[in-house]
Chains A and B, each alone.
Chain A
Amino acid sequence: MAAIIEAQGLQKHFGKFQALRDISFTVNAGEVVGFIGPNGAGKSTTIRVLLGIIRGDGGQATIFGRNVWQERLAIHPRVAYVPGDVALWGNLTGGEIIDLFIKLHGGGDKTKRDELIKKFELDPRKKAKSYSKGNRQKVGLIAALSVPADLYIFDEPTSGLDPLMEMVFQEEVEQIKAAGKAILLSSHILSEVERLADKVAIIRQGKIVETGTLDELRHLTRSTVRLVAEQDPHDLATLRGVYDFTQKGAQVTFSVDNSALNTVLRAVTTLGVKKFEVVPPTLEDLFMRHYED
């Protein structure tokens, strides 16, 4: 697989404040990478370094194998980008702004544009100053989705969108993904990332603390087990790899290292199982693990 984005030890200082300490991750063709982290962790800063809007002061980053700062002009025509805060000219209409963005990007698909306007239920004849946050977001999305690109970068794309419009966006992303394009999706709506992303990169205080496919990440963590048995299961608590054991009436709940699952299963079969549920960790569990302390 060809690497589309490659970041290696990126750093960025704003005066004395170090916004990015160590950002390393890759995005390959045909891959959706979820970029997650709380506000202020450095998601937007990373994206802006990658787009050559601001200049990183340490490390390396390339897109399409080209340097993101020096060769940004060669990169940009193949990238579609929606900023986190879509701010529009109040006295232009949404339709005018979409056309402008498409044209300045280098041209796009007129029918795609009209189709997206319909799907997102945007009134393109309204002046942008009367748009709500969600409608401004739609303008940015429609413009970005109407142009041909090999890499799509979305910074908090669904903030302000209602659930129906979120669905429309997710459908579009799935289409792009199916067409073999690369997508970097920054978000803190974890369910969305979980649904769309193949890989996630978790950022914390300017540092990528975890990256990998969702399966890989899950494997590194624990699943939650809920069990109801005929015999008293409290001996399970002493097994290696079992944590947070709690008992409530007949039901016990504990988490277990994925590597210890087999041991637990063997022990459980002797207890006369009535109910046995294993829940893999959600992205939220993964995420919270990095922020608990």
Chain B
Amino acid sequence: MNEKFALWTVLLRQYLKRDWRKIVIWVLGLGLFASAYVPAFKEIAKGSGLPTMYTTMKNPAMISIVGPTPIKNAADYTIGAMYGQEMLLFCGLFAMIVAALHVVGHTRKEEDFGLTELVQSFRVGRQANSLAVIVETIFINLLLALLTAGVMVSFRVASISLPGALLFGGALGLAGILGAALALLFAQIMPTSGGASGATLGLVGLLYVVRAGTDVSNVTWSWFNPLGWLYLTFPFTDNNWAPLVYGLLVSLVLVVVAFVLEGRRDVGVGYLPERAGRATAKSGLLSVPGLFLRLNRGTIISWMVALVLLGMAYGSIYGDMQSFLESNALMKQMFAATHTSIEASFTSTIIVVLVDLAAILPIAIVNKLFTEETRLHLSQLYVTKVSRRKLYWTNVSLALVAGVLGVALAAGSLGATALAAIGATSKMTLFDFLAAGFSGWPVVLFVTGLAALALGWAPRLGKIAYLYLGYSFALNYFGGILNLPDWFTKTAVQTWLPRLPVAQFNGPTFATITVLGIVLLVLGDLGYQRRDLI
């Protein structure tokens, strides 16, 4: 090694020593996550599970999420084939992201912190650090590949062979190496470490979306997509090693380019100039609602996307439900006896889950006001014409609007996807789904009220609203199974409300809990007016 890489082995040893806890968690966590679901898949495969899953996984919606399978008829769909299709891409994405963040963290981030400058003042070569990090990351991913393959084979499932498992693990390792190479490249180009991680994750996200399209329309195009090289290996079915070779070659090219670029730049600056922000504020920011919306924007958008995706995921099951019922006479009889359709019954259960998830966001927004307070961001704002009442109610209103939107999107996407999946045979309409969702609205209002009460009187207890939500969700979910006493289950606010569309809407209960929620909000306001701010 020449002077540029002087002492890189010292740095590598140093990194391994410094990171060993992280490495253990990384390899064990990701490796087991990728490999240890084999028993669960064995369960699914029992009876006529595999052909049913095959039909489900042939659905373009599912392919766009998890990727394709090379299997052409249901009889050939083995546990291994199912595992490869459903697990590889997702685990690969995780491996890629973790590796990318790790590489940026040890390269550009250390430059931003000024650590690199310190290290380079010793006899260390200018590019020794990058080499050490990339070698460390490759090493970690090799461990990950071997662990994953080993654990998978240990379950002794016929269709999960050793070569297939090695290929599965290898594809996972390749994902990590590709992520590391991309991150190293962007670490040279982007102006800051934040920009480097952002650009890497953005590109991975873009590749994911592009492959969703090409997988559904024409898989040949996915061969030009680095993300495609993960699942196109088709472990346990085609066992194709070629994509791994492409991936390693491209990674090598990326790393070499990154090293050349790094050799020609100064410490702490990238090739792209730092983009200057706005010198003056847009008028949309210049108000309390504008400010709060801006502060919560990221959280709100990501929750909305998550709720829509979740609604779609649950909604896509509705198509299979009908065929499942047709093959099961007992279940068919049961539903005929209760005069409810399986769709209605499923909706009434799943909507509670969705509403509870939608209720997390309003709690987070209410708690955000206290976070801002503890970070001292608001100190200068307190001494303006803005009143505490304005801060409080703007925040609460934003939380409630986000709650309404969340319930609408979750229930709406569930309904729309479900209706598309069932086709014309359904007796349910989109309105039924929305009605079911909004019949649970008092739950959202109530837990938002709890969070607001805490904000007003004991802001350090803001997490209690989450705890109560979790508690009542668990009670509500398992209460029926465990046969708990009535008074006990009634401590969960959800149990008071009838579950639409199976049960009838109950106006007085709805109104009572709504009023209760509003009372909590008002009490919170009284506290917020009176307490010492930080």
- Chain A residues proximal to chain B, CB less than 8 Å: 51-55, 73, 76-77, 79-83, 85-89, 92-93, 95-97, 99-101, 103-106, 124-127, 140, 143-144, 153
Contacts and interface: CB of A to CB of B under 8 A. Distances in A.
Given A54-B533, A55-B530, A95 B288 contact: no
Interface stretch (B74-82, B373-381, B411-419, B446-454): B373-381
Interface in B47-87: none
Contacts of B294: 92
A81 B383 CA distance: 7
Contacts of B286: 99-100, 103-104
Contacts of A103: 281, 286-287
| Chain A interface helix/strand/loop/mixed | mixed
Contact of B386 (A81, A97, A104): A104
A124 B532 contact: no
Interface string B265-297: 000000000001111110001111001001100
A51 B286 CA distance: 23
B384 A95 contact: no
Given A92-B281, A96-B278, 12 more contacts: A52-B382, A73-B385, A76-B385, A77-B384, A79-B383, A92-B285, A100-B286, A103-B286, A105-B384, A124-B279, A143-B380, A144-B380
Contacts of A77: 384-385
B383 A51 contact: yes
Given A55-B530, A96-B285, A104 B278 contact: no
A43 B377 CA distance: 20
B9 interface: no
Interface of B: 276-281, 285-288, 291, 294-295, 375-377, 379-387, 530, 532-533
A81 B382 CA distance: 9
Contacts of A104: 286-288, 291, 381, 384-386
A105 B288 CA distance: 11
A85 B378 CA distance: 11
A151 to B, nearest CB: 10
11 contacts: A53-B382, A54-B532, A55-B530, A73-B387, A76-B384, A87-B377, A88-B377, A95-B279, A104-B386, A106-B384, A126-B277
A82 B380 contact: yes
Given A53-B533, A100-B291, A87 B383 contact: no
A243 B285 CA distance: 63
B379 to A, nearest CB: 4
Given A85-B376, A88-B377, A100 B533 contact: no
A76 B384 CA distance: 5
Given A87-B375, A100-B286, A103-B287, A95 B381 contact: no
B530 A76 contact: no
Contacts of A126: 276-277
Nearest to A107: B385
Given A53-B532, A106-B385, A83 B376 contact: yes
A274 B502 CA distance: 108
B532 A83 contact: no
A193 to B, nearest CB: 22
A30 B75 CA distance: 91
Nearest to B382: A53
Most buried by B among A87, A97, A126, A140: A87
Nearest to A54: B532
Nearest to B282: A96
A125 B278 contact: yes
A149 B465 CA distance: 41
B377 A89 contact: yes
A293 to B, nearest CB: 32
A81 B386 CA distance: 14
A59 to B, nearest CB: 16
A96 B377 contact: no
A105 B387 CA distance: 11
A103 B287 CA distance: 7
Given A53-B532, A55-B532, A87-B375, A105 B281 contact: no
A105 B385 CA distance: 5
B379 A95 contact: no
A42 to B, nearest CB: 15
Nearest to B533: A53
Nearest to B374: A87
B280 A96 contact: yes
Contacts of A53: 379, 382-383, 532-533
A88 B381 CA distance: 11
B278 A101 contact: no
Nearest to A101: B380
Most buried by B among A51, A76, A103, A127: A103
Contacts of A85: 376, 379
Nearest to A47: B383
Contacts of A95: 277-281
A86 B278 CA distance: 20
A96 B376 contact: no
A76 B276 CA distance: 33
B219 to A, nearest CB: 40
A153 B386 CA distance: 18
A77 B285 CA distance: 20
A100 B285 contact: yes
Contacts of B376: 83, 85, 87
B531 to A, nearest CB: 8
A99 B280 contact: yes
B385 A100 contact: no
A92 B295 CA distance: 9
Contacts of B382: 51-53, 76
B377 A125 contact: no
Contacts of A79: 383
Contacts of B281: 92, 95-97, 99-100, 103
Contacts of B279: 93, 95, 124-125
A80 B294 CA distance: 25
A89 B277 CA distance: 13
A257 to B, nearest CB: 43
Nearest to B376: A87
Given A89-B295, A103-B286, A140 B380 contact: yes
B290 to A, nearest CB: 8
A278 B518 CA distance: 72
Which 5 A-B residue pairings sit nearest by Cβ, starting from the closest? A93-B277, A99-B281, A125-B276, A54-B532, A87-B376
Contacts of B278: 93, 95-96, 125
Contacts of A81: 380, 383
A53 B279 CA distance: 30
B221 to A, nearest CB: 37
Contacts of B287: 103-104
Given A55-B532, A95-B279, A126-B276, A101 B377 contact: no
Contacts of A87: 375-377, 379
